[in-house]
């Protein structure tokens, strides 16, 4: 039988006390729209509802398809985050029997609600106001966050505007951990390929990821976001000029392909490549170098210093042979500047912890 669709979840959420297993959610109030119906936020893999209960607000993620190893993945992520306690993630509990509909239990993810602005809205606000100081702060925080993710040995897997919220204090929070990889999960196939307007053209399968290279999964998307913020800092009018914000920041999938020489540059890309300010052209050149590299797993980590001085980020050297997990990426051998220590596979039973 097919997995429940958004309408079925919406109908079920009209009676939280009847459908949830979690006592707090059963007693909660689902945020509704003007018609008084539960307000869904649609994503690709989940439909999300906001539930207020006991003075707290939760995001309730209802999944739209079955995912292999989902419970195991969330247990591994939970344990890793509980050990590192990063302040850029939020607490969650994976509930395998979370919601009952069609006479059957389905999993949900109960997650702390992050109050703030999605990254695209936040950047649009700053650019439209020509708030260069705000863009500079964001750029600095982005660089710090990317370095912190590496040192915490976490790959998010799908860095993009819909999965990043800037909270009321200007702190960047990551949400949507479906694609997250931590050392104990690095031997599994990646369950998703990330948002196309943030991914390197070579990320076409979940294979080729190993304990040695998994921290590089996010590198290209980290550059796409970092370079977009940098370009807007140089010239905030680029937001309007490139018609940004349509499910992307300044760049789109077709730009990465065209930078690899596969297609003619789009008008927004041409505009950037011929911009009067050399710093803009230089930043596009950096992106071009990255887009042309052989594999997304060999793109160098995002570096604020390289971003600012316009250095060309060289590909990481191949070091070891990847495990044969699938047909793609082809010959890309997995390098890693920093190799995470080997960690024994998780042997504990599945946990559903709130890591707060």
Ligand X SMILES: Nc1ncnc2c1ncn2[C@@H]1O[C@H](COP(=O)(O)OP(=O)(O)O)[C@@H](O)[C@H]1O
* Contacting residues toward ligand X, per CB under 6 A: 41, 43-46, 48, 59, 61, 90, 111-114, 118, 162-163, 165, 175-176, 178
| Residue 175 binds which of ligand X, Mg ion, none (CB < 5-8 A, kind-dependent) | ligand X
3-state secondary structure 26-82: HCCEECECCCCCECCEECCCEEEEEEEECCEEEEEEEECCCCCCHHHHHHHHHHHHH
Q: Which distant-in-sequence residues (6+ apart) come within 8 Å of 72 by Cβ?
A: 185, 188, 346, 350
Closest distance between ligand X and the C-beta of residue 88, in Å?
12
Q: Which member of 78, 163, 199, 202 binds Mg ion (CB under 5 A)?
A: 163
- Only one of the segments 47-55, 98-106, 130-138, 155-163 lies at the binding site for Mg ion (rule: CB under 5 A); that segment is 155-163
What is the three-class DSSP state of 17? helix
Shorter beta-carbon distance to Mg ion: residue 149 or 336: 149
Q: With beta carbons less than 8 A apart as the criterion, state whether 211 and 335 touch.
A: no
**DSSP class of residue 170?**
S
Closest distance between ligand X and the C-beta of residue 163, in Å?
5
Shorter beta-carbon distance to ligand X: residue 43 or 340: 43
Q: Which member of 112, 176, 218, 235 binds Mg ion (CB under 5 A)?
A: 176
Shorter beta-carbon distance to ligand X: residue 109 or 300: 109
| Residue 90 binds which of Mg ion, ligand X, none (CB < 5-8 A, kind-dependent) | ligand X
Closest distance between ligand X and the C-beta of residue 222, in Å?
18
Q: Which distant-in-sequence residues (6+ apart) come within 8 Å of 322 by Cβ?
A: 207, 208, 209, 210, 213, 332, 333, 334
Tell me the DSSP string of 229-275: HHHHHH-TTHHHHTTTTSSSSS--HHHHHHHTTSSPPPHHHHHHHT-
- Only one of the segments 156-164, 204-212, 243-251, 290-298 lies at the binding site for Mg ion (rule: CB under 5 A); that segment is 156-164
Q: Is 43 in the site for Mg ion (CB under 5 A)?
A: yes
Q: Which residues are registered as beta bridge partners of 30?
A: 51
Shorter beta-carbon distance to ligand X: residue 59 or 232: 59
Residue 216: name the closest of 275, 295, 140, 279 by CA.
295
| Residue 315 binds which of Mg ion, ligand X, none (CB < 5-8 A, kind-dependent) | none
Shorter beta-carbon distance to ligand X: residue 90 or 172: 90
Taking CB atoms, the residue at the shortest distance from ligand X is 43
Radius of gyration of the chain (CA): 21
Shorter beta-carbon distance to Mg ion: residue 195 or 230: 195
**Where do contacts with Mg ion occur on this chain (CB under 5 A)?**
43, 162-163, 176
């Amino acid at each position: 039988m097919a997995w429940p669709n958004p309408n079925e979840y919406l109908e079920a959420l009209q009676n939280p006390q009847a459908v949830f297993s979690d006592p707090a959610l059963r007693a909660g109030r689902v945020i509704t729209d003007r018609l008084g119906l539960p307000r869904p936020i649609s994503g690709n893999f989940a439909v999300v509802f906001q539930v207020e209960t006991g003075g707290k607000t939760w995001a309730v993620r209802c999944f739209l398809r079955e995912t292999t190893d989902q419970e195991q993945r969330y247990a591994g992520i939970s344990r890793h985050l509980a050990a590192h306690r990063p302040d850029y993630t939020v607490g969650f509990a994976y509930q395998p029997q979370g919601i009952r509909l069609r006479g059957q239990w389905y999993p949900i993810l109960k997650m702390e609600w992050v109050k703030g602005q999605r990254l695209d809205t936040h950047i649009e606000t700053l650019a439209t106001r020509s708030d260069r100081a705000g863009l500079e702060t964001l750029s600095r925080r982005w660089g710090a966050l990317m370095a912190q993710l590496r040192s915490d040995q976490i790959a998010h897997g799908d860095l993009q505007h819909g999965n990043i919220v800037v909270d009321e204090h200007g702190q960047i929070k990551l949400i949507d951990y479906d694609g997250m990889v931590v050392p104990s999960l690095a031997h599994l196939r990646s369950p998703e390929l990330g948002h196309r307007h943030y991914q390197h053209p070579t990320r076409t399968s979940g294979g080729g990821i190993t304990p040695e290279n998994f921290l590089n999964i996010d590198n290209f998307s980290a550059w796409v976001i970092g370079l977009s913020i940098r370009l807007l800092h140089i010239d905030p009018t680029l937001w309007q000029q490139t018609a940004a914000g349509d499910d992307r920041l300044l760049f789109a999938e077709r730009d990465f392909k065209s930078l690899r020489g596969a297609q003619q540059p789009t008008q927004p890309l041409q505009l950037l490549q011929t911009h009067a300010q050399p710093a803009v052209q230089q930043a596009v050149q950096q992106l071009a170098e990255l887009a042309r590299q052989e594999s997304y797993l060999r793109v160098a980590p995002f570096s604020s210093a390289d971003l600012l001085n316009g250095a060309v980020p060289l590909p990481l050297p191949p070091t070891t042979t990847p495990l044969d997990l699938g047909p793609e990426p082809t010959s890309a051998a997995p390098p890693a500047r920093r190799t995470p220590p080997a960690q024994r596979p998780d042997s504990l039973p599945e946990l559903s912890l709130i890591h707060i």
